[in-house]
Each structure stands twice: as C-alpha cells, then as structure tokens.
Amino acid sequence: LALASAAPQVLVSPRALAPRVQQWLHTSPPKSLGVESQPPSEATEVSLDQLILGEFRKVLMDEDLCMNDDFFQAGGDSLMAAELLVSLKSRVPNSVVDRLSIKALFACPSPRNLSLFLNEGNIKEKEKQVSLSELLLKPFQQVLLDESLKCTDNFFEAGGDSLMAAELLVSLKAVAPSALLPGLTIRIIFEHPTAQKLADHLSS
C-alpha cells in the first residue's frame, strides 16, 4: 500500500471531551517508543491484526470496533491519532515499527488496512530473499549436474568438492547482483554451502 502525499490534516472529534479527559486522568501514560508494554513471550502470541485492533479500541474506548472500521469515522481526531501512534509504536514488532507514522494512520485508517501496510515491508523482504536463493540455486544445480537440487541441499553433501566449489564461485559471480559480488568467496561457499544459507548471508 503506497502512501499518497497529502497536505497536513487536522481532524476534530465530534465526541464529547469529558470521556477523553477521564481516560487521560485514570490511565497510565503510554510507554516511551521502542519499549514493549508486555513481555515478548506474550506479545508473540498476539497477531499483528489483533494487536492493532486492540490499540484502536483502547484509544477510541470502543470495544465493538471491527477490523474494517475507519478510525476517524469512529470518532478519532488528530490528537487521538498521535496517541494511537505512540501506543502502537510501543507494541508492534521492531520489524515494522519504522513504517508507522501519522501519515500511515491517515492513509490506512482501519486496523485491517494498517496491518496490511505494515506487513507489506516484511512480505517484500521475504520475496526478495526467496528470489535470491532461487537465483543462486541455478549455479548449484549446473555445477552438480542435478536439476533436482533444492535451496536447502548442501553442496558438498550432494557431491561437490573444492574444485567444483571454485567452478561454482565463477558461476555464482556471473548471476549474482553486482552489489553482492564482494561478499562471494570460496570461504563463504564453504561456510554457507546451501543456496538458501548463501542467499541469507549475502542479503544480511
């Protein structure tokens, strides 16, 4: 989900101010950014969808809010969006926290859309790694003369030796992206003898 550029927006909630004041007076302030509000073991048990929905409900004080409900149409305003942002940043995994912003909340105002947007970065990264491992797999198969070789198969256990590793290195350098070439050495092939491990190492 791409975030379209837009002028700053300010929304004012039509709801009464009194309930908000009471909430601020009787609840503890949000924790600072980057600090988990619960132990990691508990956080991992909650899906990103449910985590985001829970924060939306808490800020809006509406336990009936659903995944597709719009935060602003449900009574949220700019100040509440800022409160929601702080709360979400303290709860979501580190892998997606950098994608959270006020702009993201305005562009993806429902828990469902926000979750999809945050997950998009992880999905693209996984696809990138998969495509790299598949790209590197071809030289493995060609050098070993084995088209059935998989990304997780060990080059040496599948019949490779030092001379073949040198041949593999040449073939890998012919197909690997130029930015990864400095990291390709015989030693790296010995340390990461599967296409998947090699791809993970080079992309890390």
The average confidence (pLDDT) of the chain is: 81
Report the alpha-carbon distance of residue 43 to residue 40 in Å, rounded. 5
Query: Would you state the pLDDT for residue 8?
Result: 53
Residues 146 and 182 in one domain: yes
- The answer to pTM > 0.75 is no
| Domain assignment of residue 117, yes or no | no
Q: What is the residue whose two structure tokens read 């491990």?
A: 197
Q: Which of 202, 189, 183, 191 is nearest to 139 (CA)?
A: 189
The residue from 109, 143, 173 where one domain ends is 109
What Å distances lie between residue 132 and 69, 184, 193, 195, 197, CA to CA? 38, 14, 15, 9, 11
Count CA atoms within 13 Å of residue 144 on its CB side. 24
Q: Which domain holds residue 35?
A: 18-109
Residues 29 and 103 in one domain: yes
pLDDT band at 42 (very low <50, low <70, confident <90, very high): very low
Residues 104 and 135 in one domain: no
Query: Would you state the pLDDT for residue 118?
Result: 86
